[in-house]
């Protein structure tokens, strides 16, 4: 199977159904492990990007949060949310079929705090300079209590700073 073509077919079918033009196919050992089109329109879930939906399905199927040994095909160079999820699941390789520059003349995504063209620039800013209003809690006792949650986690893990689910590779 041509997995890149499969990714295109999924995205095209999704558009035909009224969905958005994105899809992801996750391949392991030469076979499709999980795949999805973008489901944002169908579910009203702004996080239901194809990458996120497919990564969830693949991890549930394998019973792990690590996707070592997989290649992930994505229709378009990922948004920062999906890029983050790709970093989190550690695939062997990510293959993107179009750049954001190539598809931008044909696609629009209207959001309050970013445009697709400024998305990466926006994320790279210091939090105070981002268009998304953010505030660091000012009460010192609350800040300390928040750090205590991490101390509690550390105690819970025998004083180590390694999560039991960490992948050694
Ligand atoms: Zn995304």
Question: What CATH number does domain 3-124 carry, 3.40.140.10, 3.30.300.20, 3.40.50.300, 3.50.50.60?
Answer: 3.40.140.10
The pLDDT tens digits of the residues spanning 58-72 come to 999 999 999 999 999
Which of the two residues, 125 and 101, has the higher pLDDT score? 125
Residue with token string 């209207």:
110
- For the cut 80, the answer to whether the pLDDT of residue 169 exceeds it is no
Listed by start position, the domains of the chain span 3-124
- How many A from CA of 82 to the centre of ligand 1? 4
What is the rounded distance in angstroms from the CA atom of residue 8 to the CA atom of residue 4? Answer: 6
The pLDDT tens digits of the residues spanning 106-160 come to 998 888 998 888 889 999 999 999 999 999 999 999 999 999 999 999 999 988 8
Do 37 and 11 meet the contact criterion of CB atoms below 8 Å apart?
A: yes
Q: How confident is the model at residue 161 (pLDDT cuts 50, 70, 90)?
A: confident
pLDDT of residue 96: 98
- How many A from CA of 160 to the centre of ligand 1? 33
- How many A from CA of 10 to the centre of ligand 1? 16
Sequence-distant (≥ 6) Cβ neighbours of residue 62 within 8 angstroms: 33
Average pLDDT over residues 3-29: 98
- How many A from CA of 78 to the centre of ligand 1? 5
pLDDT of residue 165: 60
pLDDT of residue 163: 63
**What is the pTM for the complete model shown?**
0.91
Do 32 and 25 meet the contact criterion of CB atoms below 8 Å apart?
A: yes
The set of catalytic residues is 51
Which of the two residues, 167 and 146, has the higher pLDDT score? 146
What is the rounded distance in angstroms from the CA atom of residue 161 to the CA atom of residue 169? Answer: 16
- How many A from CA of 114 to the centre of ligand 1? 13
- How many A from CA of 80 to the centre of ligand 1? 7
């Amino acid at each position: 199977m041509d997995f890149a073509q499969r990714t295109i077919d999924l995205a095209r079918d999704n558009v035909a159904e009224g969905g958005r033009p994105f899809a992801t196919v996750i391949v392991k050992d030469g076979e499709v492990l999980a795949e999805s089109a973008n489901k944002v329109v169908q579910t009203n879930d702004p996080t239901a990007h194809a990458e996120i939906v497919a990564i969830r399905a693949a991890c549930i199927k394998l019973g792990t949060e690590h996707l070592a040994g997989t290649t992930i095909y994505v229709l378009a160079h990922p948004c920062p949310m999906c890029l983050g999820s790709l970093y989190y699941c550690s695939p062997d390789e990510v293959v993107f079929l179009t750049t954001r520059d190539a598809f931008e003349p044909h696609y629009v995504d209207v959001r309050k705090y970013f445009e697709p063209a400024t998305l990466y620039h926006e994320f790279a800013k210091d939090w105070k300079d981002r268009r998304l209003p953010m505030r660091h809690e000012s009460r010192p006792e609350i800040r300390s209590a928040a750090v205590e949650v991490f101390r509690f986690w550390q105690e819970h893990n025998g004083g180590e700073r390694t999560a039991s689910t960490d992948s050694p590779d």
